[in-house]
Amino acid sequence: MAETRTLGEFLVERGVSRRAFLKYSSYLATLMALPPSAAEAMAEGLAKARRQAVIWLSFQECTGCTESLTRAFSPTLEDLIFNFISLDYHHTLMAVSGEAAENARLQSMAENKGKYIVMADGSVPMKDGGVYSTIAGRTNLETLHETAKDAFAVISVGTCAAFGGLPHADPNPTGAVAIQDIVKDKPVINIPGCPPIPDVMTGTVAHILSFGKLPELDDLKRPKAFFGETIHDRCYRRPFYQRGLFAKSFDDEGARKGWCLYEVGCKGPVTYNACATLKWNGGVSFPIQSGHGCLGCSEPDFWDKGGFYRPLPTPLASVREHVTEAAAAGAVLGGAAAWLARSQQNAYKSETKKPEEA
Amino acid sequence: MDLLEVARGPALQVSLAIFVFGVTWRLLGLLLLPWRTDHSEPRGTAPSAIVAVLQANLRKMWPHKTFVRATVFQFVNGYVFHVGLAIVVFLFAPHILFIKSLFGVTWPALPSNLVYAVGAITLFSLIAGLLHRLTSPVLQLISRADDYISWLVTLLPVATGLLAIIQVGARYETLLALHILSICLFFIWFPFGKLMHAFTFFLSRGATGVRLKHRGAQI
Amino acid sequence: MGGTAMTTLLAQNLNSELADAVLREIPVLMQRLLDTGETGTIDLRSLPMTDWDRRQLATRLGEGEVKAFVTVGGTSTVIETQFAGVWWIRHEGADGRIAAEQVVVARAPEFLLAHPADIEAAQRRLSALLSGSAEAQFGEAGHG
Structure confidence by residue, pLDDT tens digits, C56-91: 899 999 999 999 999 887 889 999 999 999 999 998
Of B21, B29, B173, the CB nearest to A326: B21
Any chains having at least 3 CB pairs less than 8 A from chain C are A
User: What are the residues whose beta carbons fall under 8 Å from the beta carbon of B70, sequence distance 6 or more?
Assistant: none
User: Is there an interface between B and A (3+ Cβ pairs < 8 A)?
Assistant: yes
Q: In this predicted model, which residue has the larger pLDDT, C5 or A232?
A: A232
> Least CA distance to A256: which residue of chain C?
C3
Among left, alpha and beta (phi > 0; psi -120 to 50; other), residue A122 is left
Phi, psi of C21 (to 5 degrees): -60, -45
Q: Which helix (H) or strand (E) holds A278?
A: helix A275-278
pLDDT, one tens digit per residue, over A301-319 is 999 988 999 999 999 888 8
Name all domains of chain C by residue range, CATH numbers in brackets. 3-112 (3.30.1370.140), 114-144 (no CATH)
Instruction: Label the pairing between strands A176-177 and A188-191.
Output: unpaired
Boundaries of every domain in chain B = 3-19+67-214
Cis peptide before A195 (omega within 30 of 0): yes
> Least CA distance to B177: which residue of chain A?
A313
Instruction: Label the pairing between strands A176-177 and A124-125.
Output: antiparallel
- Which of A5, A6, A17 should we substitute to test contact with C (largest number of C Cβ atoms within 10 Å)? A17
ipTM of the complex: 0.82
pLDDT, one tens digit per residue, over A247-265 is 999 989 999 999 999 999 9
> Least CA distance to A38: which residue of chain C?
C41
Numbered residues of chain B with Cβ closer than 8 Å to any chain A Cβ: 2, 4-5, 8-10, 12-14, 16-34, 93-95, 97-98, 100-102, 109-113, 115, 172-173, 176
Fold for A231-304, please state it.
Answer: Cytochrome-c3 Hydrogenase; Chain A, domain 2 (4.10.480)
Q: In this predicted model, which residue has the larger pLDDT, A51 or A127?
A: A127
Per the CB < 8 Å rule, is A311 touching B97?
yes
CB A334 within 8 A of CB A327: no
Helix and strand counts by DSSP (H, E) for chain C:
5, 5
Residues of chain A in contact with residue C115, where contact means CB-CB under 8 angstroms, are 17-19
CB A316 within 8 A of CB B18: no
The Cα–Cα gap between A209 and B211 comes to 85
Q: Which helix (H) or strand (E) holds A205?
A: helix A198-211
Of B32, B94, B109, the CB nearest to A338: B32
Q: In this predicted model, which residue has the larger pLDDT, B131 or C54?
A: B131
Does A7-226 carry CATH code 3.40.50.700?
yes
The Cα–Cα gap between A357 and C47 comes to 93
Per the CB < 8 Å rule, is C118 touching A12?
yes
C143 interfacial to chain A (CB closer than 8 Å): no
In terms of C-beta distances under 8 Å and separation of at least 24 residues, what long-range contacts does B174-180 make, across chains too?
B174/B3, B174/B4, B176/A269, B176/A270, B176/A312, B176/B4, B176/B7, B177/B2, B177/B3, B177/B4, B177/B6, B177/B7, B177/B8, B178/B3, B178/B7, B180/B4, B180/B7, B180/B8, B180/B11, B180/B12
Does B3-19+67-214 carry CATH code 3.30.1360.120?
no
Distance of CA A68 to the CA centre of its chain: 13
C124 interfacial to chain A (CB closer than 8 Å): no
The Cα–Cα gap between A264 and A286 comes to 16
The Cα–Cα gap between A253 and A311 comes to 19
The Cα–Cα gap between A302 and B5 comes to 11
The pTM (predicted TM-score) of the whole model is 0.83
Least confident of A103-117, A227-241, B129-143: A103-117
The Cα–Cα gap between A103 and A226 comes to 35
Q: Which helix (H) or strand (E) holds A120?
A: strand A117-121
3-state secondary structure of A192: coil
The Cα–Cα gap between A308 and A247 comes to 15
Per the CB < 8 Å rule, is A19 touching C91?
no
Average pLDDT of the segment spanning A135-160 = 93
